[in-house]
Amino acid sequence: MTDFDADSTADRIIAGFDRINDKVDDMRAKRLDDPDSLGDKALKFALPSIAGFVAGKLFTLAWNRSVGRNRAAKRGGEALGDGVVDGKESVFMSVAFAALSAAIGAAVSTLSDRGSQAIVDRRHRRRNR
């Protein structure tokens, strides 16, 4: 290996480290410029997650009380939406339950995400007055 090859390899390594250093500096600047506190981030994470979970459970409860009760008498007491598709439960009802449950959970999560972002934005406006 000649001295020329060693110099170019060292230069490439140094250039690679410089790119990494620039990326780390950019990430640090983004973190320092972020106006959200830890509480804001926790609120924006927890509120949509909990709301989506609760909405899904409430939908399951409502499904079992309405559609499930009517069919449970015919099935020997088992409720729909238990995750088990057998010969007594139609595939259509399972697909309908899954689709409606996912749609309601997603809608509630999206709306609560917007609500939590509005709460954080309002806190930022009050803080900056």
- The gap between the terminal CA atoms of the chain, to the nearest Å, is 65
- Answer whether residue 114 shows pLDDT above 90: yes
- Answer whether residue 76 shows pLDDT above 70: no
Distance CA 84, CA 93 (A): 12
Amino acid at 118: A
Backbone angles phi, psi at 2, to 5 degrees: -90, 170
Selection from 58, 55, 33 nearest residue 109 by Cα: 55
Interval 64-69 mean pLDDT: 76
- Answer whether residue 70 shows pLDDT above 70: no
Question: Which residues does 49 contact at the CB level (< 8 Å), separation at least 6?
Answer: 109
Selection from 51, 74, 52, 66 nearest residue 97 by Cα: 66
pTM listed for this prediction:
0.58
